[in-house]
Amino acid sequence: MKRLPLLFYVIFLLGCSSTSSMMVGQNDSTEAIVAVIPLSGEYGHQLSELITEQLTFNGIRAIEMEQVNILLREYESQGYRKFDPSSLAKYGRLLGVKKILTGSVTTTDEDINFFPQATIKLKAIDVLTEEVSWIGEYSNRLWSPTLSTQRDIRRGAKHIVEEFIEAHGGLPLKL
């Protein structure tokens, strides 16, 4: 019975909100080098925004999601399919970036978790070669039970961007 108040106290502390800010790192280039195409899945739009945010926080110039969405709407109005894999490099050239990030987020509702946990699959497509140049995956199955799907997605975005940066030799990132 003594454990119940402790559990509520821990949940209360974890639920407390905080505010933080960060100066966005400066890259020697003023050009965006990465664009995140809206990811598939229920939380895809949110994750796309979080990945763009994490790239920017790490000093990597990324195209804002609204610019990507404007281009995709314009492209679709001309009769092209929205996420035709063969067109991703073309999207990248139109956006003026070196890499396109695309992928998916799925959630798994397992009996041991309070909330569904996220699995994020992300791949980078080199705009010049039109080849997949990197694949990353985030899954949090061994961690303690998820207290919030939103937190798991936020943590996943941070970790997968860190993996992307590490795979490209760290910062400053010159793709």
pLDDT score for 91: 82
In a domain, 173, yes or no: no
Answer whether 52's CB lies under 8 Å from 37's CB. Answer: no
pLDDT score for 162: 94
In a domain, 114, yes or no: yes
In a domain, 174, yes or no: no
Structural domain total, the chain: 1
DSSP state of 108: E
In a domain, 3, yes or no: no
**CATH number of the domain bearing residue 90:** 3.40.50.10070
- Tens-level pLDDT at each residue, the chain (175 residues): 555 555 555 454 445 444 344 444 444 455 778 999 889 999 999 999 999 999 999 989 998 878 888 887 887 777 766 556 667 888 888 888 999 999 999 987 665 556 778 899 999 999 989 899 999 999 876 655 556 788 889 999 999 999 999 998 776 555 5
In a domain, 175, yes or no: no
pLDDT score for 157: 94
Q: Are strands 99-108 and 34-36 parallel, antiparallel or unpaired?
A: parallel
How far is Cα 120 from Cα 122, in angstroms, rounded to an integer? 6
In a domain, 37, yes or no: yes
pLDDT score for 140: 74
In a domain, 149, yes or no: yes
CA-closest candidate to residue 151, choices 121, 113, 101, 104: 113
In a domain, 7, yes or no: no
CA-closest candidate to residue 38, choices 67, 77, 11, 16: 67
pLDDT score for 66: 82
User: What are the angstrom distances between the C-alpha of 152 and each of 17, 43, 147, 160?
Assistant: 16, 11, 8, 12
pLDDT score for 2: 56
pLDDT score for 69: 81
Q: Give the structural domain span for 155.
A: 27-167
